[in-house]
Each structure stands twice: as structure tokens, then as C-alpha cells.
Amino acid sequence: MTDTLENPAVREHRWRGRLILWAAVLTLANVLADVVIGSPMMVLPQLLEHFDTDQAAWLNASAMLAGAIWSPLLAKSSDLFGKRRILIGTLLLACAGALVCLAAPNVWIFLVGRFFQGAAFAAVFLTVTLARQICTPRVAMAVVGVVTSGSSLVGIIEPFLMKPIIDVFGYRSVFIVAALLAAAAALCVRSFLPESPIRGTGRIDVAGALLLGGGLGAILGYISLGSDLGWSSGGMIALLTAGAAASAGWALRALRVDEPLIDIRALSGPILLTLLALVLAAGSFRSMLQLTSIIAQVSPDLGLGYGLGDGEAIAVLLATPNIGIVIGGVCAGWLAGRFGPALPLLGGIAVGAVATFAMLAGVSALPPAIACGAVIGMAAGAIGASGYNLATSLEAPERQGTTAGLVSVVLALGSVVFTIAGGEILKATQVPGTFADGDPASTATGVYLYVTMAGVLFVLAAVPAIILTRNRFPAPAGPGAPRRPESAAGR
């Protein structure tokens, strides 16, 4: 398309029918990422049986690892060729991956399909940067809040919708639904959304993309799979070594080439502070969401000092954070449009810290656990939306795709590292033979240490967030006409 930044038909400045349609289409694209990552886990036992394998960890983590590999390349490509165009290509890649998984005759072909499906991981930051460039800043921040959190509603209804379909059509139905959803989302993006009006210049450093993507995927693979396959096993050590070597090779290359995939030298202090806050905060709220799902399955009758298992209450406990994510993300986007994104980021971190420490009482009582889960969900929604808004507002428009992709990577990195760390805390404090089937369970001490770890992470994340709030950082001007500066803390 030939639209430019100066064309008022592109830069939507208020909520009306067209903008609501755009937000709905962008949210639909983000729903695909949730479906790609989450839905196959509903049929994991059937997949293991069908492919005659016991490698549940690989089947579980493959799409997320692929997303880490795809993200740097797709982020840079979106800056050069247009966010809408790359978003459509990403959705079509995910559709093709679902079809490969559907027809896969063996586990290796299935993993190839999951690799292509993992491209859907990039949909989140692509929708963010597209919203930032087809709307004026104030409206765009509210839209980002909607599109980054609205898909969480699917987490509430997805199990109820998918279970009867799986019961009738088996595990393949998950990939049929994913393929149809990806195709529908691509068609809607093509039909209803304008192209981003700003382009960067230069070329794609393909070698750098391979080094960075491969290094990230290998390191995340080690972190994700080491607990199941053995931290010190030969294969895991080789994976970590390869990841570290590839990442170091990318860093050296980025400092030497003229147009690196991510220009390390151009990462400003405010952006680095934002990324630091996000990696800590994401690790905290993701680890708490994981803990909630664990203790929801433990009956208080076991006498462990914790446990919330109580029939239908479990569904409420697991659904409540998703509702909180939607509320937190939408509110943070609205606040960012009025006061700047740094303030709601700090607010989300502060609220998350209070709710996390309050969970020390909630691990053994259902009502406070539900309340804490809702508030932690609100914190997660606010942190995600504000993180994208803040990082992109600090970057020149022609580099916003790359920066948003970097935000996605650090969110995933924090989530993986600290949920694994929390799992290791629980594993280190297990008591064998706790459950009727002989499985072990963690002690109350382990659960309290886990909650304390998450709370401390929130407190640490608040430090860079406070710095960002107390200082005003002007946004770099984009190409063309001068832009009114945006502040990280407000205008």
C-alpha cells in the first residue's frame, strides 16, 4: 500500500467502528498464539501414544522454542517490509505448520510442523507495532492494551470448547482448528487492516538472524528441557554450549557489521531498563500462575500446610487470572494514553508484588487465593501491555518492530527461567509417597520459598520501573515530519 504517515485515513485518532474492527482483527491474530502454544497440551497423552514416544518435554516446548528462533528475523523484516505483510506471512506459516502436524507420519515431521507453528509467537509483537503505526499514540496505547490481553479470554473458554471436539475427532482436531483459525486471521488482516505507513531502510542480516535465533532457541531449550532430560546430560550440555556459542557469535557480529539484526550499540539506557523490568516481572507473574495451577490440584486434606483442590473451585481458580489479565491490560492501555506507559508499568509491578506476598496466606485458603490470582492476573496484563507500549514509545518508528520483538523475547526468557527455577525449588523440597499413587509433593516450606522468590522478583523489577517513572525520556523522531515528543512517564 502507498499510505503515508501524513494520511489521516491511516492514523486513527478516536474510537469508532473502524478502530473497533481493527482491534478485533488484531486480537484474533493474537488468539492464534495462545492456541498454538496451549491447545496441543490438551491432547499430549494422545500425541505420545500416537507417535510412540515418551519425549513429552520436546512436544511441549517445541513451538515456544521455535518462536524464539523466528522472532528476531520476523521483527526485523516487519520494519523493512511492513508489519501487516509480515503478520499475514506469519499467520500463513502457522497455518502450514498446523497442516504438517495434522498429517505428520512420525514425531520428527511433527516437530517440523511445530517449528512452523511457532512463528505464531511473533503475532503478538507484530500486532502491537502495527497498532502503534496505524493509530495516533494515545489511541494506539489503548489498542495495545486490548490486543495483548484480550486473547486471554480464550484461556477461559477454550477447554470447554475444545474438549467435546477432541472427544469426537481425536487429537487431530486441535490442529484442524489451529489451521482454520490461522487462515481466518490471515484473511481478516488482509481484508480489513491497512499496512503500516513507516518503513526502515537497509537489509536483513540473515547470518545474524540464524545465530541469534539458534542461540536463543538452544538456551531456552536447555532451560525448558533440562529438568526432564537431565541438566548435566551430554545432550543438554551440548545444547547449552551450542546456544552460548551462537549467542556470542551473534553479539560479536552485531558489533562489527553495519546493519545488524539488532543494533546493540543503539539500545538506549531507558530501553535496557524497560527490558530489565520486564524480564524480572514476567518471571514473577508467570511463576505465580504456574504455582496456582499446581496447588489447585492438591487437596488440603493431605495435611501439607497448603492445597486448594475442591472440585469445581479449581476451574474458578484457574480461570480468574485470565479475567484479571484482560482487565489489567485494557486499563493499563487506557492509562498509558493519558499518563504515559511507565506509570501503569510500575503500578502493575507494585500490585503484583502485594498480591504475591499476600499469596503466602492464599496457598491454604481458597477465597484469598482466588482474589490474589485475579490481582496477579491484572498485574500480568498491565505489565505486558505497558512493556510493549513503553519500549516502542522509546524507539524510532522505523525500528519499533525490532524493539517489540525484543520485548517478546525477554518476556519469554523471564517466564521460562523463573518458572523453571520455581519448579526446582518445589522439587528440592519434595516428600516422597505423599499422594495415594506414590507421587511426591513439595513441603509447605518449598511453596513459601517459591512465593517469596516471586515476590522478590517483583520488588527487583520495581527498581528500573521507578527510574523510568521518575525520568522523562523523549521518543526519537521518525522519518518525515517532526513528531511531538512522547514521554516514557507522561506528557
Do residue 114 and residue 229 come from a single domain?
A: no
Three-state secondary structure string covering 218-246:
HHHHHHHHHHHHCCCCHHHHHHHHHHHHH
Do residue 103 and residue 64 come from a single domain?
A: yes
- Of 177, 203, 229, the position where a domain reaches its end is 203
- pLDDT for 427 equals 85
Do residue 151 and residue 215 come from a single domain?
A: no
- pLDDT for 185 equals 93
Do residue 197 and residue 307 come from a single domain?
A: no
Expressed as residue numbers, the domain containing 364 is 268-491
pTM for the whole thing?
A: 0.87
Total count of domains within the chain:
3
Do residue 187 and residue 231 come from a single domain?
A: no
- Of 157, 187, 203, the position where a domain reaches its end is 203
Buried residues in 247-257 as b, exposed as e (16+ CB within 10 A): bebbbebbeee
Do residue 213 and residue 142 come from a single domain?
A: no
Do residue 393 and residue 280 come from a single domain?
A: yes
Do residue 163 and residue 249 come from a single domain?
A: no
Buried residues in 144-183 as b, exposed as e (16+ CB within 10 A): bbbbbbbbbbbbbebbeebeeebeeeebbbbbebbbebbb
Do residue 452 and residue 371 come from a single domain?
A: yes
- pLDDT for 182 equals 93
Do residue 4 and residue 83 come from a single domain?
A: yes
Give me the residues of the chain with pLDDT under 50, please.
1-9, 478-491
Which domain CATH number covers 272? 1.20.1250.20
DSSP notation for 397-458? GGGHHHHHHHHHHHHHHHHHHHHHHHHHHHHHTEETT-STTS--EE-HHHHHHHHHHHHHHH
- pLDDT for 491 equals 40
Do residue 312 and residue 168 come from a single domain?
A: no
Do residue 152 and residue 237 come from a single domain?
A: no
- pLDDT for 22 equals 93
End-to-end alpha carbon distance in the chain: 32
- pLDDT for 487 equals 44
